[in-house]
Copies of this chain bind each other. A is one copy, B any other.
């Protein structure tokens, strides 16, 4: 099959990879309809993280082509959404809602597991992993929103869960990438009273406003902290969503969080440190991790299908598999928020 291949920093090729087949009775093989490029893919694209020399990408929706003998919840022909992590759905961690800590689980794209940026994917633990979309004809806007449930929409929502955000809260979102914008949308969905988006980019500011941001802060670093404190009468926000992963963005999130509140961190940490003394001085907390999007998928899917949630608007660049390198470059150069990859 054709698939994207990572040759090294800023070198994404498209070539042949082995056709996936059913290896375990719990496997499914999915033919990819839509995939995309993640902000976290840019870490290895930019040479800042290592990556194994196999499949890349971890977000996809597609159609089931084959299932193993033990698979019961999806069947050939089903339109399915794959969370970026596979999981059994039955271990103590899955049952507690933390599917990304599944004792049998793992992640798509690397370490011998197919990536989403290819024509087909072997999906381990298909019953625990895949979520079937009810049969029907979906327009392109809906399909794009379904694709975000593979990662960014669930990840944005997770940032708020980690931060213990609740209805009525003043929430701040640090990071204006697709995850940050999804967190803004998730905050509106939760009923946040006020949503402060930190963004310097006019196009992203505009989308943040459409997604529900009530205030935009364009400053960075200490100036951003001061600006958010000024907006909140010096108190700080009730919940801070960290959607970048750098030391600066974490420091900003911790700086704007009010005493007794939490920072929810979903940006993959790169050089971020937690100053324990600063946490202690103001009873602040940080909770961090890869989103168990599988846990959130059913409720988010219901909202997308009902037309109440339109996270697919984060895709502002589209290409096909053969030109996927353009999608990476557009995001790397911040010309695109998020690049969609459409399969024929």
| Residues of A near any B CB (own CB < 8 A) | 92-93, 96-98, 100-101, 162, 233, 235, 250, 258-260, 262, 265, 268-269, 272-274, 276-277, 279-290, 292
Q: Is the CB of A273 within 8 A of B272?
A: no
Chain B residues, Cβ within 8 Å of A286:
274, 276, 279, 285-287
Is the contact region of chain A dominated by helix, strand, or loop, or is it mixed? mixed
Chain B residues, Cβ within 8 Å of A96:
258-260
Q: Is the CB of B287 within 8 A of A98?
A: no
Q: Is the CB of B283 within 8 A of A277?
A: no
The 9 closest A-B pairs by CB, nearest first: A285-B287, A283-B289, A101-B259, A274-B274, A98-B260, A279-B288, A280-B288, A269-B276, A98-B259
| Known interface pairs A93-B258, A98-B259; A283-B292 also in contact (CB < 8 Å) | yes
The answer for the CA separation of A277 and B287 in the assembled complex, in Å, is: 11
* Other 20 A-B pairs with CB < 8 A, given A92-B235, A285-B288: A92-B258, A93-B258, A96-B258, A96-B260, A98-B260, A98-B283, A100-B259, A100-B283, A260-B289, A262-B285, A262-B287, A265-B276, A269-B276, A272-B276, A279-B287, A279-B288, A283-B289, A283-B290, A286-B286, A286-B287
Which B residue sits closest to A287, measured CB to CB? B285
Cross-chain contact of A269 among B101, B262, B277 (Cβ < 8 A): B277
Chain B residues, Cβ within 8 Å of A279:
265, 274, 286-289
Q: Is the CB of A97 within 8 A of B260?
A: yes
The CB with the most chain B CB atoms within 10 A, among A260, A269, A279, A284, is that of A260
Chain B: minimal CB distance from A230 (Å): 15
Cross-chain contact of A284 among B235, B269, B287 (Cβ < 8 A): B287
Chain B residues, Cβ within 8 Å of A284:
287-289
Chain B residues, Cβ within 8 Å of A233:
92
Which B residue sits closest to A98, measured CB to CB? B260
Chain B: minimal CB distance from A43 (Å): 13
Chain B: minimal CB distance from A15 (Å): 31
The answer for the CA separation of A259 and B101 in the assembled complex, in Å, is: 6
Cross-chain contact of A283 among B259, B268, B288 (Cβ < 8 A): B288
The answer for the CA separation of A272 and B277 in the assembled complex, in Å, is: 9
Query: Could you jot down 8 A-B contacts, CB within 8 Å?
Result: A162-B283, A269-B280, A279-B286, A279-B289, A280-B290, A283-B288, A283-B290, A284-B288
The answer for the CA separation of A317 and B277 in the assembled complex, in Å, is: 31
| Known interface pairs A274-B274, A286-B274; A101-B260 also in contact (CB < 8 Å) | yes
